[in-house]
Structure 1
């Protein structure tokens, strides 16, 4: 459990760093070029590391449903939308909204057992937890301290 939590913290830190870099790249290249570069470099890194750690098994897709491969297209939308969100409302507010919506939808998907997930019972505490996060976003936005917010 400690390793899983540590990896999740590291992932969150890396996503935050990536978003800074993506935002700076977007200032010079625009949204679609940034998305292409980010995902292109990510593809190369994944390919190289995949060969190093998995060898030929990297391309064994025999146990995968074809539609799972569409996650790459979802990645395009994710990178583009996050970069544009940061450009328009600033990094802190944009990423906060991304995380809150990610948590809310994960709760729904888990509770309904969608996309092949094990069904996890919905509890009022889980719902309240998501609502507290959303309320925190409203308080954050209404605090007036977000002076860098753009339209």
Structure 2
């Protein structure tokens, strides 16, 4: 269980880091180029590591349902939506909303037993947990940061500090 927790924490940190990198790439080349670079490099790395660690076994796909083959297409939506979400909301808020959506849908899929998952009973505690996280995001977003007023002259001079 400890290894699972550590891997989940590592995955979360890598996703946050990737989202920031993707957003920086998007500023320079646009959304579709960013998605192509991210998924193309991901394919190359996965393919290479798969060959190193699994060899030709990685091509043994005979027992997989056909519609699972298309799960990689979801990555296009993930990368594109995250890049645009972070561009519009900022990294912390964008990733927080994404995490809430992931948690909410995971809870829905688990409790309904959809997509071949073993059905897990829905509990009030789970609902409260999701609502607490959503409440935390609302507090984070609406809580006490005051925005500084920036004048047109400060923008032209390259300084955004008040009184500069």
Aligned pairs for 1:116-127 within 5 A = 116-127=116-127
4+ runs deviating over 6 angstroms: none
TM-score, normalisation: structure 2 = 0.87
* Alignment CA distance shift 1:76-1:146 (3 Å): farther
Structure number with bigger Rg: 2
1:14, distance to aligned residue in structure 2 (A): 0.8
The unaligned stretches of length 5 or more in structure 2 are 148-164
Match of 2:90 in 1: 90
Is 1:132 matched up with 2:132?
yes
Partner residue of 2:30?
30
Q: CA deviation at 1:144?
A: 4.8
Q: Displacement of 1:145 after TM fit?
A: 2.3
Q: Who is 1:76 aligned against?
A: 76
Partner deviation per Cα, 1:21-53 (whole Å, 9 max, x = no partner): 101100101111000000000000000000001
1:60 corresponding residue in structure 2:
60
CA deviation after TM superposition for structure 1 residue 142, in Å: 1.4
Q: Distance in 2 between matches of 1:104 and 1:140?
A: 19
Supply the RMSD in Å over aligned alpha carbons. Answer: 1.1
Q: Which protein, 1 or 2, shows the higher relative CO under an 8 Å CA cutoff with sep ≥ 6?
A: 1
Deviation at 1:111, TM superposition (A): 0.3
Aligned-residue offset at 1:128: 0.6
Aligned partners of 1:100 and 1:71: how far apart in 2? Answer: 21
